[in-house]
Structure 1
Amino acid sequence: MEIYIKELRLDDLQVNGLKIYQHKDKYCFTSDAVILANFARVKKNEVFVDLGSGSGIISILLAGKYNASMVHAVEIQEYLAKMSKLSVDYNNLAHKIKVHNTPMQTAHKILGKHTMDAVICNPPYTRQGDGEKNQDLEIAICRHEIKVNLEEVIKSAADLVKYGGRFYLIHQVERLSQIFFYFHKYKFQPKRLRFIQGKIGLRPNLVMIEAYSYGNEGLIVEQNLILYDENGQETPELNQIYGRIKK
């Protein structure tokens, strides 16, 4: 599948000179990916896997902003994988990000089983059969469980991560009981949760989770992340995450 630069736009990530290619009329990353990358703890010399990496936004932030040693970006859609490679090359991060055009379910056959320090994933949220699908298949695959379901996401992470390694996931709050069920099945212990509110006064609709492979019990629930204030303006914390203001 060919990529034509004229179909793309180059967006400024507003941190460390990083930029990312996105298609003008197709799938674009959301704030969820940026927030999840910020939630992850990046330790020195660690190797991450970004499952369902899409445009490469999480991988680029982990490597270019948070200084991950190496990130393997795993993306099943050929077009998105090629486009993310363009962004990696543009940002001179090819020595820190490797893009793999492959299903996440079999990524361990390429990268090795139980070899990764940490896995991160911003998966499709909507179950197959729920909600109205976008007519553009590329967008639909990013939003709906067409190519991978929740259990497969968690199993894929378990296949890749080392004993004691970490898994970072963002998902809908309404699916939290399912997530915990599959965490137990695949030997993940949730250690840190942070709920996301779209606005002050609204119930959280998303949750970020840090889980450890074969971890001990003990869960910390952090203060909710609120994206917009009562006037609909972005909160200072959200602006900090985006790099618009300094801490």
Structure 2
Amino acid sequence: MSESVETKSGESVDVLFDGALKIIQSRSGYRFSLDALLLARFATIKPRDRVIDLGTGNGVIALILARRHPEVEITGVELQNALAERAARNVALNQLDGRVSLGRGDVRAARSIAAPEHFDAVVCNPPYRRRASGRISPVEEKKIACHEIHGELGDFINAGFFLLRTKGRMAVVYWAERAVDLLASLRQAGLEPKRLRMVHSFAQDEASLVLVEAVKGGRSGVEILPPLIVYRAAQEYSEEVTAMLAGKF
């Protein structure tokens, strides 16, 4: 790891996979959560794929994918300047400059991001909350990351369709309570849901998240995977999540 990358006041450096990855994050602003790791693990990535992460935040998904798939080309796009700059430092910190490229971009203007049909796979962890729903954080980074302030679900899905080649794949993590919105948006855009997995905090709980992978121009028919359980007891991760957090994907 590079030790010359600057960290700023109000930032922390957190580790993943027993220190294999280091992530600079704001202490009070946007911070990645388990959602990002689940998505990076769920997405189907093939050798020599060109992959784009829409709304990359601090770059954690792009970095995990680069670590898991050393033969792929990864691009991260972020709207917020502060997050995009932090993501760039994270790429340098983890010495992945030659593997991960970053840029500032708006999913509502997909043509400004890249040429159409340029990518084989899209990953996306979009804002879950509608613009006026729930408590809106006074912290700008959190507000934009969590609420549809600068891009609704459909904007992310349509950008994915534009950027994907035919038969390319888009993997999304989203709130389970908005699963119908996600599935409808994907199909309406021409991305057919092919794999779906619900995520539950505990086995007896309702699902909190849904993971969906869709194929551009794919045939109808979806594979429903076994549910993913995060905890097996209070403050004790399930075996599957424990292995994932250790980097055993």
> TM-score range, shorter-chain basis?
over 0.9
**Is residue 41 of structure 2 the alignment partner of residue 33 of structure 1?**
no
Q: Partners in 2 of 1:186 and 1:110 — Cα distance?
A: 18
The aligned counterpart of 1:166 is 169
Q: 1:183 aligns with which of 174, 183, 186?
A: 186
Q: 2:61 aligns with which of 58, 61, 81?
A: 58
Q: Partners in 1 of 2:180 and 2:21 — Cα distance?
A: 37
Q: Report the AA paired with residue 63 of structure 1.
A: A
Q: CA deviation at 1:207?
A: 0.4
The aligned counterpart of 1:230 is 233
Q: 1:83 to 1:144 in 2, by over 3 A?
A: same
Q: Report the AA paired with residue 101 of structure 1.
A: R
Q: Report the AA paired with residue 92 of structure 1.
A: Q
Q: 2:74 aligns with which of 41, 64, 71?
A: 71
**Is residue 45 of structure 2 the alignment partner of residue 42 of structure 1?**
yes
8 Å contact kept, 2:187–2:193: no
Within 5 A, what are the aligned runs for 1:192-207? 192-207=195-210
Q: Partners in 1 of 2:130 and 2:45 — Cα distance?
A: 30
SS in 2 for 1:126: coil
**Is residue 120 of structure 2 the alignment partner of residue 132 of structure 1?**
no
8 Å contact kept, 2:106–2:113: no
In structure 2, list runs of 5 or more residues that go unmatched. 1-5
**Is residue 95 of structure 2 the alignment partner of residue 92 of structure 1?**
yes
User: CA deviation digits over 1:196-239, x for unaligned, max 9?
Assistant: 00112001121000100000122111110000113441111001
Q: 1:60 to 1:205 in 2, by over 3 A?
A: same
Q: CA deviation at 1:78?
A: 0.2
8 Å contact kept, 1:200–1:230: no
The aligned counterpart of 2:119 is 116
8 Å contact kept, 1:192–1:210: yes
The aligned counterpart of 2:213 is 210
The aligned counterpart of 1:152 is 155
**Is residue 224 of structure 2 the alignment partner of residue 221 of structure 1?**
yes
Q: Report the AA paired with residue 137 of structure 2.
A: N
Report how many aligned residue pairs link the two structures.
Answer: 244
Q: TM-score, normalised by structure 1?
A: 0.94
The aligned counterpart of 1:82 is 85
Bigger Cα displacement from structure 2, 15-24 vs 74-83: 15-24
The aligned counterpart of 2:24 is 21
- 4+ runs of 1 displaced by more than 3 Å? none
Q: Partners in 2 of 1:221 and 1:67 — Cα distance?
A: 29
The aligned counterpart of 2:105 is 102
User: CA deviation digits over 1:178-200, x for unaligned, max 9?
Assistant: 22222222111111000000112
8 Å contact kept, 1:173–1:206: yes
Q: Partners in 2 of 1:6 and 1:128 — Cα distance?
A: 30
Q: CA deviation at 1:137?
A: 1.2
Q: Report the AA paired with residue 73 of structure 1.
A: G
The aligned counterpart of 2:3 is none
8 Å contact kept, 1:16–1:65: no
User: CA deviation digits over 1:87-108, x for unaligned, max 9?
Assistant: 1011111111111111122243
User: CA deviation digits over 1:127-149, x for unaligned, max 9?
Assistant: 01100100111111000000110
Q: 1:66 to 1:241 in 2, by over 3 A?
A: farther
Q: TM-score, normalised by structure 2?
A: 0.93
Q: Partners in 1 of 2:88 and 2:66 — Cα distance?
A: 14
